[in-house]
Amino acid sequence: MKKRNVAVIGAGVSGAMSARLLQQAGYTVRVFEKEMTPGGRAMSWRDPNRDIVLDSGAAFFTSFYERLIALLPELGLQDGVHRLSRQFDFVSPTGIDRFNASNVWASAWSTLWLPTLGLADKWRLTVYLAKINAQRKKLDWVSPESLCHLDDRSVADDAIEQVGEAAYHAFIRQTIEPFWFMPSEQVSRAMFVSMMSNSAGASFYSFPGGIDQLPSRLLGDLEPSFGAEVHALLEYGERTKLCWRDADGEHEEVFDSIVCATTASVAAKLCGSLSAKRYDAEQREFLEGQSYCENLHVAFLINREQGHPVSLVVPAGVGERDIVALGLCGERYPALRAEGKEIVSLYFSPKASRRYIGQSDESIFKDTWARALAFYPSLPVDAEPLHVALREEAIPEFGVGQYKKIASFQRLQRPDLAFAGDYLAGACIEGALASAERAVAAILSGKSK
């Protein structure tokens, strides 16, 4: 029996995982990637002059990323991870408060000692979080179907009703906005509850060698067509003609099945010429309507004789936040720390990030460091500019009602055309891996399980 041939468009995490699973299932797989290296939105940046690697996309993973944790020894990556400190500084108009989230008891103790909250607010917050933690075994945080019943209002609306305005601004916002950049008013409580139910006592990790090691290892002995930009999918009887361009010109090839492992916006453009028989109107509407938030990540190198005790500094209190997180990355780079240096990463809100579109790197470095000093005065005045990453499609938005739309979309996945990407499961590496499993299940069986 002739092997079915499948094209996977995109060599990010979801594309690489899709290709791996399809190859293991006995399919002939060809991967197309417009860039010259794998990684997609998880691509790392490497300093050409120093041993520094920065992740502007997925910069961390946790102990409850079950798929990723299981893959690490299989891919030979188990020794290349670094456990991150979970010591945070909450910066509010009234001062700076240290928060220890290294384990469940330290986190509970730090919550009880938040000086900006009264006893009544602390009690309501403790009860609220305990109720969320109790749902851990009932929720699959990267399965939209298990979260639809929570997809009825925003994090802000739910938290303010349950714990009040003070606790919402003093604590709840800090669990969403520094990691997913979006204002809590724009995020479904389904995301918050599913994530927080797993976060208590969790460990956080990074890949000092770059998160893009993951898609590279997932691809294994597959040889993707790098520098190949797919620009159209056309119907060819029961099969699909894939059209792409590379340095050698325009090309076409026919495949039995396609996995679109791109952003939703790219997938929508690629499928624009397909008929309703192949590409359902509901799928079209969903992909065209999926939004992403912008994010500006700016990194600097500073002199520091002693390592900073915290790994993350986040704003607290009422109001809009331009800087949503300030990461102190010295613990990831012991060689730099031995030299008395440390990397500072600034992450900006979508609204603030949009203001920098079109500006030069020099201008961005100058303005953002001034903002950093105003936000966290313990930083040294002088800093060496390192890297700017301004991504207009940084993270898929999971607003109210989105999980229900995703669940409906997943039921329409087809054996000849399937979609993968974190926008279909969760805005993280684990979500990308889970979406690949669903896409491959569609290819194999004709429907998502």
Nearest to 326 by CA among 342, 314, 337, 341: 314
Beta strands (DSSP E) in 247-320 are 249-255, 257-260, 292-303, 312-315
How much is the pLDDT for 449? 37
Contacts of residues 72-75 at CB distance under 8 Å and 24 or more positions apart, as own/partner, are 75/214, 75/217, 75/218
Given a cut of 90, is residue 143 above it in pLDDT? Answer: yes
Residue 86 carries which DSSP code?
Answer: -
Beta bridge partners of 6: 29, 257
Q: Name the packing angle between helices 189-199 and 119-133 (round to 10°).
A: 90
* pTM for this model (two decimals): 0.94
d(CA 276, CA 354) in angstroms, rounded, equals 35
Query: Out of 56-60, 220-224, 238-242, which region has the weakest mean confidence (pLDDT)?
Result: 56-60
What string of H, E and C letters represents the secondary structure of 141-189? CCCHHHHHHHCCCEHHHHHHHHHCHHHHHHCHHHHCHHHHCCCHHHCEH
Q: For residue 124, give the H/E element and its range.
A: helix 119-133
Name residue, tokens 């040294």: 380
d(CA 103, CA 190) in angstroms, rounded, equals 23
Average pLDDT, the chain: 92
Contact 167, 129 (CB under 8 A): no
Question: Average of pLDDT values for 265-293?
Answer: 95
323-328: strand order across its sheet: 95-100, 87-92, 312-315, 323-328, 341-348, 292-303, 384-396
Contact 333, 47 (CB under 8 A): no
How much is the pLDDT for 3? 64
How much is the pLDDT for 297? 97
How much is the pLDDT for 86? 82
Q: For residue 402, give the H/E element and its range.
A: helix 402-410
d(CA 237, CA 158) in angstroms, rounded, equals 50
Q: 283-321: per-residue pLDDT in tens?
A: 999 999 999 999 999 999 999 866 566 788 999 989 999
Q: Where are the alpha helices (DSSP H) in 55-95?
A: 66-75
How much is the pLDDT for 308? 65
d(CA 285, CA 83) in angstroms, rounded, equals 41
How much is the pLDDT for 446? 54
Given a cut of 90, is residue 2 above it in pLDDT? Answer: no
Confidence of residue 177 (pLDDT cuts 50, 70, 90): very high
Q: Which domains does the chain have, with CATH numbers?
A: 5-42+212-291+398-445 (3.50.50.60), 46-60+205-210+293-396 (3.90.660.10), 105-198 (1.10.405)
Beta bridge partners of 44: 55
Contact 230, 31 (CB under 8 A): no
Contact 210, 55 (CB under 8 A): yes
Q: For residue 22, give the H/E element and its range.
A: helix 13-24
Q: Where are the alpha helices (DSSP H) in 171-325?
A: 177-180, 189-199, 213-219, 264-270, 281-289
Name residue, tokens 């940084």: 394
Residue with more model confidence, 333 or 166: 166
Residue with more model confidence, 116 or 364: 364
How much is the pLDDT for 448? 39
Q: 4-20: per-residue pLDDT in tens?
A: 899 999 999 999 999 99
Query: Out of 223-232, 242-251, 323-332, 391-400, which region has the weakest mean confidence (pLDDT)?
Result: 323-332
Q: 64-82: per-residue pLDDT in tens?
A: 999 999 999 999 999 989 8
Question: Average of pLDDT values for 241-256?
Answer: 97
Across 1-5, 53-57, 171-175, which has the greatest mean pLDDT? 171-175
Query: Out of 39-53, 97-111, 308-322, 384-398, which region has the weakest mean confidence (pLDDT)?
Result: 97-111
Encoding tokens for residue 290?
């999926």
**Percent of the chain whose predicted confidence (pLDDT) is above 70:** 97
Confidence of residue 147 (pLDDT cuts 50, 70, 90): very high
Contacts of residues 25-31 at CB distance under 8 Å and 24 or more positions apart, as own/partner, are 25/440, 25/444, 27/3, 27/257, 27/443, 28/3, 28/4, 29/5, 29/222, 30/5, 30/6, 30/224, 30/225, 30/253, 30/255, 31/7, 31/219, 31/222, 31/224, 31/225
Q: Which residues fall within 8 angstroms of residue 314, CB to CB, at 6 or more apart?
A: 88, 89, 90, 91, 174, 177, 178, 324, 325, 326
Confidence of residue 447 (pLDDT cuts 50, 70, 90): very low
b/e map 210-227, b = 16+ CB within 10 Å: bbbbbbbbbbeebebbeb
How much is the pLDDT for 306? 60
Q: Output the CA torsion sign for 410, 290, 175, 341.
A: positive
How much is the pLDDT for 217? 97
